Every structure is written in structure tokens, then in C-alpha cells.
């Protein structure tokens, strides 16, 4: 694994506090870059690889710490977090080593595909909850953290129960102090209707 000081993540965006991306209040980090090309993906701006904004793992750890006890965990989404495996492993390793934050990950790769990646097993060992699989528009459900019914929720530690994970609200509106509005969650488009 590269030294933490040399490791950075190509970030699409982040939201310091969200209630619609896993249990409780969570810091959400959307990775930039996804090659999977699911038809109907509602966040195509995340697809191009390459830096939109590059943040060092150490900077991200400081951002998490800056939230104090207002968050109980982090959620990594995208884009595709597993397409930056070295940086992802560095991030989840630091979170596990220095915080008590829980870790939820959304990935378009299945858990078997992740296990087959060079760093996949180490990453999975450091995650509490994984929601896996490509988004399939024809099987859309948009609830319980699953965008489509082919996706699965994997409880990789005993930190959460399935009912706690599935109780996550499907959408939220957040308005920052500058008046910028962000729609998040597994079915944010419902809020636009």
C-alpha cells in the first residue's frame, strides 16, 4: 500500500452530513470515475476518470474528524470507489486505525468481483456494509439503499442489522449555508416530481 502521505482520491463531491446514505448521520464521499456504464445511471457526471478534485487521504481524515460526534460513519459512493483501489484501501485503513466511524460502500462491482481484485480482500475486511452490483434500470426499486433489485446488501461486520440499513430514507434535500441545494439518496429523483 502506498504511504498515506502520497495517497489521494479523485473526488466528485462530498456531503459532510447526510441521513439518506446509510444508517444514522454520515459523511458521504462520491468518487470520480466509473467505467461500468449502467444504462440509466442517475449520476453520469461521475463517469469520466481523472481528477475533478483531488483530496489527500490525510485531508479527508481531517474532514471526518472535523465533524466531531455529529456523524457515526462515512459512506463511499460514486462514480466507482473500487476503480481507485489503492487510495480506497489507504482511506479505509486509516479510518479503521484512527476512528470509530463505520464504513458503508456502494459499488457497481459484485462482491465476488471485488474479492478477485488485488486489494479487494483487504478492502472488504475494513468495510461494515457493502451494497453491490450494477444498477439495472429495468429492475429499479429505489429503496432500502438498493437502486435495483439485483443489488445486494452485505453486512460484513456485526455493526448494523439489516433492518437498520434498510430503514435509511430513500432521499433527502440538503441546503448549505450558501443556499446550494443537493439531492441525495438512492431515489433522489422522486423529490423532483
- Give the residues lining the site for ligand SF4 (CB under 6 A): 34, 36-38, 41, 43, 46, 78-80, 108, 134-135
Q: What are phi and psi of 58, to 5 degrees?
A: -60, -35
Cβ at position 74, least distance to ligand SF4 in Å: 18
Q: What is the DSSP string of 69-138?
A: GG-SEEEEESS-GGGSHHHHHHHHHHHHHH---EEEEEESS-HHHHHTSTTHHHHHTT-SEEEES---GG
**25/150 with CB nearer ligand SF4:** 150
Q: Report in angstroms how near the CB of residue 137 gets to ligand SF4 at its nearest.
A: 9
Decide whether 134 or 140 has the Cβ nearer to ligand SF4: 134
Q: For ligand SF4, which residue has the nearest CB?
A: 108
Tally Cβ neighbours within 10 Å of residue 142: 17
* Neighbour count for residue 102 (Cβ, 10 Å): 21
- Which CB sits closer to ligand SF4, 75 or 93? 75
Burial of 166 (C-beta count, 10 Å sphere; 0-12/13-18/19+)? middle
Toward ligand SF4, which CB reaches closer, 71 or 88? Answer: 88
In three-state secondary structure terms, 50 is coil
Q: How far is the CB of 96 from ligand SF4 (least distance, A)?
A: 24
CA 125 to CA 83: how far, in whole Å?
A: 17
Q: Which is nearer to ligand SF4, 2 or 40 (CB)?
A: 40
- What minimum distance in Å lies between the beta carbon of 11 and ligand SF4? 14
Q: How far is the CB of 36 from ligand SF4 (least distance, A)?
A: 4
Amino acid at each position: 500500500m502506498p504511504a498515506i502521505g502520497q495517497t489521494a482520491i479523485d473526488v466528485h463531491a462530498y456531503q459532510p452530513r447526510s441521513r439518506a446514505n446509510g444508517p444514522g448521520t454520515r459523511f458521504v464521499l462520491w468518487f470520480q470515475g466509473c467505467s461500468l456504464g449502467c444504462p440509466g445511471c442517475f449520476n453520469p457526471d461521475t463517469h469520466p476518470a481523472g481528477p475533478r478534485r483531488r483530496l489527500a487521504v490525510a485531508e479527508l481524515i481531517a474532514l471526518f474528524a472535523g465533524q466531531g460526534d455529529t456523524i457515526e460513519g462515512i459512506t463511499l459512493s460514486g462514480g466507482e470507489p473500487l476503480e481507485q483501489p489503492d487510495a480506497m484501501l489507504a482511506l479505509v485503513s486509516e479510518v479503521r486505525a484512527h476512528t470509530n466511524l463505520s464504513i458503508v460502500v456502494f459499488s457497481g462491482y459484485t462482491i465476488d468481483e471485488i474479492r478477485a481484485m488485488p486489494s479487494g480482500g483487504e478492502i472488504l475486511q475494513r468495510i461494515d456494509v457493502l451494497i453491490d452490483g450494477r444498477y439495472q434500470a429495468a429492475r429499479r426499486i429505489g429503496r432500502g439503499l438498493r437502486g435495483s433489485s439485483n443489488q445486494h446488501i452485505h453486512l460484513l461486520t456485526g455493526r448494523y442489522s439489516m433492518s437498520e440499513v434498510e430503514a435509511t430514507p430513500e432521499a433527502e434535500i440538503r441546503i448549505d449555508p450558501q443556499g446550494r441545494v443537493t439531492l441525495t439518496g438512492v431515489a433522489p429523483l422522486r423529490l423532483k416530481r
